[in-house]
Amino acid sequence: MSKALAVKLRLKQPSVIPGFGLTLGYTLTYLSLIVLLPLAVLLIRASEAGLSGILAAATEPRVAAALWVSFGISLLAALVASLFGLLVAWVLTRYDFPGRDLVGAMVDLPIALPTAVAGIALAALYAPNGWIGGPLERLGITVTYTPLGIFVALVFIGLPFTVRTVEPLIAEIDRDQEEVSATLGASRVKTLWSVMLPPLLPAMLTGFALAFARAVGEYGSVIFIAGNLPYVSEIAPLLIVIKLSEFDYTGAIVIATIMLAISFLALLAINLVQAWSRRRFGDV
């Protein structure tokens, strides 16, 4: 991805390889039909509501609360997923231990496991009578049907992104720099902190943004474990479904548009971070 983005807008270079018109034409047609046209319809329908209509629907307390729940918990979950993602990626690339390949393979599970399956599994696991929920309940911690449940589901969703973005970079860390740092008398902690962490930061930010974007929009795994209580544990995607059930199309469209804007912003942020890191650290 980074390489692709490194390619500055350039005029088409002449190329001897055939098929440019065919493949690009097909790509653009398919993209327009499947993605752009439907999204354009969404935006047109949103604009029909008028700016005042959009503002009114967006600032409705319940909508604002749902967006806040989605954003707040997604940010927290992406943060936690980033930290553990760094740890897991570090352990997987740097240390050798029995079963490492198996552990490495498991990291992608949340991508391959359907969200509804993840939802009922997490709900069964963290319910007051579940394997993890039981012991936690005795400690006075309720996970299911609270914002904590949403958090658990979103960490699950975000983990592969945060691991997989930093993993190749840890593998590419220049060993010489580490050695130089150690030879110059820096402690291991200092070497980790000031020599090795900075080049990882852009990748961590990218992973964070990916996990966040995914978490904000997540539906299947959350609805089974969240309490779905307005103002407390109701997420924005669920509110879209509820607005539809209430025949409030404008409300649903406005929330969807806001979420679409968030998706764009997250992608934009990822591109900016990568552009910045290329300037700062070269092509990573």
Partner 1 sequence: MNGPSGDTRTALRTWKVSAWLKRGLLGLTGVAVLFLADGAWAQTHLLNVSYDPTRELYREINQAFSHVWKKLTGETVTVRASHGGSGAQARTVIDGIDADVVTLGIPSDIDAIARLTNKIPADWRAKLPNNSLPYTSTVVFLVRKGNPKGIKDWDDLAKPGIRIITPNPKTSAGGRWNFLAAWGYAQAKEGGTAEKAREFVSAVYKNVPVLDTGARGSTVTFAQRGLGDVLPTWENEAFLVLDEFGKDKFDIVVPSVSILAEPPVALVEGNVSKKGTRKVAEAYLEFLYSNQAQAIFAKHRYRPLKPEAAKPEDLALLPHLKLFMIESIEPDWDKIQKNNFENGGLFDQISKR
Partner 2 sequence: MSDVSVSRVGPSLRRSGSGWRSVTTEPRAVRWIAIACAIAFLAVFLVLPLTVVFAEAFRRGVGAYWAAFQEPDAQAAIQLTLTVAAIAVPLNLIFGVAAAWAIAKFEFRGKSLLITLIDLPFSISPVVSGLVYLLLFGAQGLWGTWLMEHGIKIAFALPGIVVATIFVTFPFVARELIPLMQEQGTADEEAALTLGASGFRIFRTVTLPNIKWGLLYGVLLCNARAMGEFGAVSVISGHIRGLTNTIPLHVEILYNEYNFVAAFAVASLLAGLALVTLAAKTLLEWRYGHVLASRTPH
In whole angstroms, what is the distance from residue 182 CA to residue 36 CA? 53
Q: Does 271 bind partner 2 (CB under 8 A)?
A: yes
Number of amino acids touching partner 2 (CB under 8 A): 115
Give the ranges where 127-187 is alpha helix by DSSP (H): 133-138, 147-172, 175-183
Q: Which of 63, 154, 226, 253 binds partner 2 (CB under 8 A)?
A: 253
Q: Is 23 in the site for partner 2 (CB under 8 A)?
A: yes
Minimum Å distance from CB 51 to partner 2? Answer: 20
Query: Among residues 46, 81, 86, 242, which is the contact residue for partner 1, using CB under 8 A?
Result: 242
Q: In this structure, what are the phi and psi dihedrals at residue 31, rounded to the nearest 5 degrees?
A: -60, -45
- Chain centroid, CA 106 distance in Å: 18
Interacting residue with partner 2 among 125, 136, 201, 232 (CB under 8 A) = 125
Q: Does the protein bind partner 1 through residue 59 (CB under 8 A)?
A: no
Map the footprint of partner 2 across residues 27-46, applying CB under 8 A: 27-28, 30-31, 34-39, 41-42, 45
Q: How far is the CB of 138 from partner 2 (least distance, A)?
A: 17
| 248-277: b (≥16 Cβ within 10 Å) or e | bebbbbbbbbbbeebeeebeebbeebbeeb
What span, in angstroms and rounded, lies between the C-alpha atoms of 72 and 111?
Answer: 22
Nearer to partner 2, 117 or 197 (CB): 117
> Residues 199, 192: contact at Cβ < 8 Å?
no
Give the whole-angstrom CA distance, residue 281 versus residue 200. 10
Which of the residues 141 through 170 are near partner 1 (CB under 8 A)? 144-145
Task: Give the single-character DSSP code of 17.
Answer: -
Task: Mark 183-222 with x for binding to partner 1 (rule: CB under 8 A) and - for no binding.
Answer: ----------------------------------------
Contacts with partner 1 by CB under 8 A lie at 60-62, 123, 127-129, 144-145, 227-232, 234, 238, 241-242, 244-248, 251
